[in-house]
Amino acid sequence: MNKAVGDIAGGSTAMLVIIGERLGLYKAMSLANTPISVKELADKTGTVERLVSEWLANQVASGYIEYDPSRRKYRLPPEHALALADENSPIYLQGIFKAIKSYFKDEEEFLKMFRGERTFSWMDHNPFMAEGFAEFFKSGYIGNLINSWIPAVDNGRVLEKLKKCAKVADVGCGFGITTLMMAKTYPNSTFTGFDFHKESIEKAKESAKKENITNVRFEVSSASEFPGSGYDFVTFFDCLHDMGRSYRRINSYKKSYQEKW
């Protein structure tokens, strides 16, 4: 019962975290950078004071927000703001809450899958799944991809190649977040993002156009069918566990890389 009650509380709080993000409650508290009253927060966000009071009560009980009873004011600590209010933070986690929404929206189709009435692929999920995970994993890329991961590969040899001129394939690129980050950082190299999810590729193309990044392109293709030759560097992020025959594919990439160098 204790475990169940904890899960129930967590499930309810997840929805309130989503509401806090969508209504800009976290951002308003972060921008205020000082303890704030219920009325002040409601006025800043154009929301109903009575409901904001209940939302804050849940957030305090859940440990997301702090409360000063002597002043009857609430505070979003800066460390918490990094996770809840700053989408460019390396620990921002709002995306995972958005992804959770897709599970409930896909409930009926999950039942059919368990009964053997249908199969279910990534493309069958509610769009919140792809959007949520793209946002969630982006924080890890912001904090690590350019600063530590790429420089660590093969004692910096890959980094030097990227700086000069390299042909790169980003397999399973999703919304193209990693592809675009690399393309912006290494303008002398060319990048192609591949993903079998058409909607994700469309999002990636829109982002490239919006940011005016010209050394990158995106194509709809699965990991087993993309043009896998002639590349200096092949990457795949947060998609390996979804790939069939993934380890055989990794070995082929490894062999190609060793022959290239």
Same structural domain for residues 80 and 161?
Answer: no
Q: Which of 63, 86, 109 is the last residue of a domain?
A: 86
Residue 164 lies in a domain: yes
Residue 134 lies in a domain: no
**Token pair of 184 as six digits:** 């912006």
Residue 248 has pLDDT above 70, yes or no: no
Q: Tell me, what CATH number does 30's domain have?
A: 1.10.10.10
Q: In angstroms, rounded to a whole number, what is the distance separating the alpha carbons of residues 61 and 120?
A: 37
Residue 209 lies in a domain: yes
Q: In angstroms, rounded to a whole number, what is the distance separating the alpha carbons of residues 223 and 196?
A: 8
Residue 21 lies in a domain: yes
CA distances (Å), origin 105, targets 20, 110, 180, 214:
20, 10, 30, 37
The pTM score is: 0.80
Q: In angstroms, rounded to a whole number, what is the distance separating the alpha carbons of residues 212 and 217?
A: 12
Q: Tell me, what CATH number does 192's domain have?
A: 3.40.50.150
Residue 175 lies in a domain: yes
**Token pair of 207 as six digits:** 């982002």
How confident is the model at residue 194, as a pLDDT? Answer: 94
Instruction: Give ∠ CA 214-143-180 in degrees, rounded to 5.
Output: 10
Q: If you average pLDDT over residues 17-30, what whole number do you get?
A: 97
End-to-end CA distance of the chain, in Å?
A: 58
Strand order in 233-236's β-sheet? 216-220, 190-195, 167-171, 233-236
Residue 43 makes CB contacts below 8 A (sequence gap 6+) with none
CA distances (Å), origin 249, targets 2, 194, 233:
44, 15, 14
Per-residue pLDDT tens digits for 199-220: 999 999 999 999 999 999 999 9
Q: In angstroms, rounded to a whole number, what is the distance separating the alpha carbons of residues 41 and 28?
A: 7
Residue 252 has pLDDT above 90, yes or no: no
CA distances (Å), origin 183, targets 161, 186, 201:
13, 5, 16
Q: If you average pLDDT over residues 243-256, what whole number do you get?
A: 57
Q: If you average pLDDT over residues 177-184, what whole number do you get?
A: 97
Residue 132 lies in a domain: no
Instruction: Report phi then psi at 75, rounded to 5.
Output: -140, 135
CA nearest 36: which of 21, 52, 22, 23?
Answer: 52
Same structural domain for residues 74 and 169?
Answer: no
Number of domains in the chain: 2
Confidence bin at 91 (pLDDT 50/70/90): very high
- Chain mean position to CA 243: 19
Residue 235 lies in a domain: yes
How confident is the model at residue 118, as a pLDDT? Answer: 93
Q: Which of 86, 110, 138 is the last residue of a domain?
A: 86
Residue 30 lies in a domain: yes
Helix (H/G/I), strand (E/B), else coil: 260: helix
How confident is the model at residue 77, as a pLDDT? Answer: 96
Residue 257 has pLDDT above 50, yes or no: no
Per-residue pLDDT tens digits for 112-170: 999 999 998 878 899 899 899 999 999 999 999 999 999 999 999 999 999 999 999 99
Same structural domain for residues 256 and 158?
Answer: yes
Domain extent, residue 7, equals 2-86
Confidence bin at 104 (pLDDT 50/70/90): very high
Residue 255 has pLDDT above 60, yes or no: no
Same structural domain for residues 166 and 243?
Answer: yes
Q: In angstroms, rounded to a whole number, what is the distance separating the alpha carbons of residues 67 and 71?
A: 9
Residue 244 has pLDDT above 80, yes or no: no
Per-residue pLDDT tens digits for 34-86: 999 999 999 999 999 999 999 999 999 999 999 999 999 999 999 999 999 99
Q: Which of 86, 110, 133 is the last residue of a domain?
A: 86
Q: In angstroms, rounded to a whole number, what is the distance separating the alpha carbons of residues 158 and 92?
A: 28
Q: In angstroms, rounded to a whole number, what is the distance separating the alpha carbons of residues 201 and 122?
A: 14
Residue 254 has pLDDT above 60, yes or no: no
